[in-house]
Amino acid sequence: MADFLYPEGASRIVVSCSDRRLSAYLDSEFNDGKTVFMRTAGADVTNIADTLVKLVHTDTEGKNHAIRQVVVLTHTDMGDVTKGCGWAGRLAVEEDAKIHGKELDSHFIGDAQINQFIENGYTSREQIEMGNKNVQKKALGSRIGSSSVGYSTDTIDTSGIPTEDELEHVLVITRPSVARYSDMAKRLNKNHEDMTTIGKFNAYYSQVGTLEEALVDARLFTGALGIQDVRVLAQDQHDNEIMRSWAEQLHRQDFMKSVKLTLVTTRGNDSNKAKLKT
Ligand SMILES: [Zn+2]
């Protein structure tokens, strides 16, 4: 069973926030067929560090997999900060509660992460969104700085991305791959006419290598952002059984109790839409 899904010749990893507005932008600006995409809330390298390090360092024994560069893309909205990064917005709430000793019903972001933003003086949502790329660069340096792989970070301004979309928001959980988001949307929509259509701008992606990484995103997106529709998508046939086990374990989580969960494998017709009981 393939451990990861990178193709021969993949030379770059792009890590971005899960945000629904970024997929079309990543397809058009970064998908060159040789880029492996990873997505997690806030483009938070700490959450996906195990997989990222593995992708960078794995010796693929002659398979020509040679990552040369890692690019991490955070985002903000220069026109309206409340339309920026949902993860940053949540971090601002939790950071404020910590600084002022307020109680919150639930926490979605780790204490060490919150401390890092406090130490850097990033306390307002705006400061968090703009400072996030510096925090992520530091995290990259500590994880892959000693390797020969180059790394950089940048912030995307979503105010330039028109996102007229009235569709219900969906979380897609899938693994790192070179696939286009437009193609993933086609696969998610095929034989699922009874469900919310995956349009250009309504799907958040948790594109990670382990169930543990996916659980952090799933908890945050269902809890802090209120998403009620989660799809687990197998990237290829080698991925079907792994995604089935992820879906089964997600199904057992308390926070998923009232959330619709669907597994989408690569198998034909009927089993392609094998739904888990919710
Ligand atoms: Zn974001």
The DSSP line for 50-119 is HHHHHHHH---SSS-----EEEEEEEE-SS-GGGS-HHHHHHHHHHHHHHTT---S---S-HHHHHHHHH
- Rounded CA-CA distance 163/150 in Å is 32
- Rounded CA-CA distance 202/20 in Å is 5
- pLDDT for residue 61 is more than 70: no
Strand pairing class (170-174; 12-16): unpaired
Q: What's the 51 CA to ligand 1 centre distance in angstroms?
A: 20
Q: What's the 86 CA to ligand 1 centre distance in angstroms?
A: 5
Backbone phi, psi, residue 31, to 5°: -85, 100
Q: What's the 75 CA to ligand 1 centre distance in angstroms?
A: 6
Span of 50-54, 61-65, 68-72, 207-211 with lowest mean pLDDT = 61-65
Span of 32-36, 165-169, 246-250 with lowest mean pLDDT = 165-169
User: In the chain, pLDDT over 90 holds for what percent of residues?
Assistant: 77
pLDDT digits (tens, 9 = 90+) for 16-51: 999 999 999 999 999 999 999 999 999 999 999 999
User: pTM for this structure?
Assistant: 0.93
- Rounded CA-CA distance 51/45 in Å is 10
- Cα distances from 130 to residues 19, 51, 52, 120, 209, in angstroms, run 16, 25, 23, 12, 27
Instruction: Say which DSSP state 276 is in.
Output: P
Q: What's the 16 CA to ligand 1 centre distance in angstroms?
A: 8
Q: What's the 66 CA to ligand 1 centre distance in angstroms?
A: 28
Residue with the two structure tokens 């992606």:
205
Q: What's the 173 CA to ligand 1 centre distance in angstroms?
A: 16
Q: What's the 61 CA to ligand 1 centre distance in angstroms?
A: 36
- pLDDT for residue 274 is more than 50: no
Q: What's the 43 CA to ligand 1 centre distance in angstroms?
A: 7
Q: Which residues surround ligand 1, an ion (CB under 5 A)?
A: 17, 19, 85, 87
CB 127 within 8 A of CB 121: yes
- Cα distances from 249 to residues 176, 212, 270, in angstroms, run 19, 10, 22
- Rounded CA-CA distance 68/45 in Å is 17
Q: Which of 124, 96, 95 is nearest to 112 (CA)?
A: 95
